[in-house]
Copies of this chain bind each other. A is one copy, B any other.
Amino acid sequence: MAYSVLVTGGARSGKSRIAEARCLEFGAPAVYIATAQAHDDEMRARIAEHQARRGPEWRTISAPVELAAALAESDGAPRLVDCLTLWLSNLMLAGHDWRAAGEELIAVLATQVSPVVLVSNEVGMGIVPENALARAFRDAAGLINQWVAQDAQEVIFAVSGLPLKVK
């Protein structure tokens, strides 16, 4: 039976660390499904920092867009998806239908045998952005979080590096 965990929170709230620890509780080795694309130095530095923290218990898969396929192919070990927000950003920048991709993700999650921990970002608690694209993005990010949270067995809100149990 499918088991998924959503870990959400703001920037630098300790989401990834909480999610990594939770994922390894399900067993090791685990699979790290990275959605980040190294477009620039800032992002490359952040990816390198995340990789350095993870040890040999992890096998890394890159899935900037084809997340549902990566999940389907990697079933059999606990998976960590880090993160949904970058995946959504990649989808929208590439002109994909993010609603269809989100529905496909939910459908694939429901069929997984091994647990999946998904990291996501809270981006909707600031002032309404003046930029229409930024508004569309934060609306989509909020909806994706709701869809994943609805089916998840656990939902954790990270505050200052600490887990606050929501579900």
Contacts of A132 in B (CB 8 A): 42
Asked if A55 lies at the interface with its beta carbon under 8 angstroms from chain B, I say no
Contact indicator per residue, chain A 111-140, by CB within 8 Å of chain B (1) or not (0): 000000000101111111100101101110
Indicate if the CB atoms of A124 and B160 lie closer than 8 Å: no
How large, as a class, is the contact surface on chain A? 35 or more
Total copies of the chain: 3
**Looking at the complex, which one of B129, B142, B162 makes contact with A166 (CB distance below 8 Å)?**
B162
Quick one: given A13-B124, A124-B13, A125-B126, are A8 and B160 in contact (CB under 8 Å)? yes
Say how far A134's CB is from chain B's closest CB, in angstroms: 5
Complex alpha-carbon distance, A149 and B134, angstroms: 30
> A143 interface residue, CB < 8 Å from B?
yes
Does any Cβ of B come within 8 Å of A164's Cβ? Answer: yes
Interface residues of A in 129-163 (CB under 8 A from B): 129, 132, 134-135, 137-139, 141-143, 145-146, 148-150, 155, 157, 159-162
Q: Does A29 contact B (CB under 8 A)?
A: no
Q: How would you classify the secondary structure of chain A's contact residues: helix, strand, loop or mixed?
A: mixed
Provide the residues of chain B in CB contact with A129, threshold 8 Å: 126-127
- Given A149-B160, A160-B146, residue A124 in contact with residue B11 (CB < 8 A): yes
| Contact (Cβ within 8 A) B124 A12 | yes
Chain B neighbourhood of A42, CB < 8 A: 132, 135
* A54 in contact (CB, < 8 A): no
CB–CB B10/A124 < 8 A? yes
Residue in B12, B127, B134 whose CB lies within 8 Å of A134: B127
